[in-house]
Amino acid sequence: MKRTVALLAVVAVVSGGASGRTYMGHPVTDMPFKLAGGQIVNLPVTDDGPLPAENYLVKIEVAGFSLMPTDSAATSTLTWSFAFKSKRGMKLEAVTVEKVYPDTVGVELVKDTTPSMTDRTWHGDAEPLPMTAGSTQWLFESGTSTFVFKITIKAKGFEPVVLYQPSWFGEESKRTFRKILRATAR
C-alpha cells in the first residue's frame, strides 16, 4: 500500500514586523551573501531564521519546499514552493523565481507568464525534483543548507521589483525529512 506524506518546510512565513533591529523578539543582523554572478547582498536574518523580504508592493510568505515521499525512493520528489502577499490591488504580469545562492550560476525555478492571485496571494511551484543524492544532494549532507531566491515581480503599472529571500534548513530538519523518506520507501 502506498503512503504519501506531504510535508511543507516553510521559511519566512511568520507574520509580524521588524521593529528597529529586532524581529519577533530576536536581534536582527545583516548577513552577506555572494550571489550567482558575483553580486553581494546583505539580507536581514535572526538566530531563528531569515526575515521575510518585502517592499511597498509585496511581502514574501513562503520560500520552502514540500516532500512527496512514495513507497520507492526513486519516485519520491521535492518541490520548491513560493508565495507572496500583495499589499496593493494590482494585476500581475509576470513572476520569476531563481535560486541564486549557493550556486555560481542562477537556476530558474519558476517562470509564471500568466500569474494570478487568490485573496491577494500569488503561489508558484518549481518542477518536482527526484529525492536523490544527485538532484537534491544538499538534503543528504550534514549541517545547515542555505539558499537565496531572487524573486522578480512585474505588475501592471509598476516597474519590475526584485526581492531576495534567504531560506535555510538545519541538520535536525533535514534528518527528519530523510527519516520520512526512508520510512515511506520500505
- Per residue in 126-155, pLDDT (tens digit) is 999 988 878 899 998 999 999 999 999 999
DSSP 8-class letter at 163: E
Handedness of CA 101, 104, 109, 114 (dihedral sign): positive
Q: Please report, rounded to a whole number, the percentage of residues in the chain having pLDDT higher than 90.
A: 70
| pLDDT value, residue 1 | 39
5 or 179, higher pLDDT? 179
Q: SS3 sequence, 74-138?
A: HHCEEEEEEEEEECCCCCEEEEEEEEEECCCCCEEEEEECCCCCECCEEEEECCCEECCCCCCHH
Q: How far is it, in rounded angstroms, from Cα 17 to Cα 46?
A: 13
| pLDDT value, residue 21 | 86
- Per residue in 63-116, pLDDT (tens digit) is 999 988 887 767 889 999 999 999 988 999 999 999 999 999 999 999 999 999
15, containing H or E segment: none
Quick check: 5 pLDDT over 60?
Answer: no
Contact status, residue 76 vs residue 144, Cβ threshold 8 Å? no
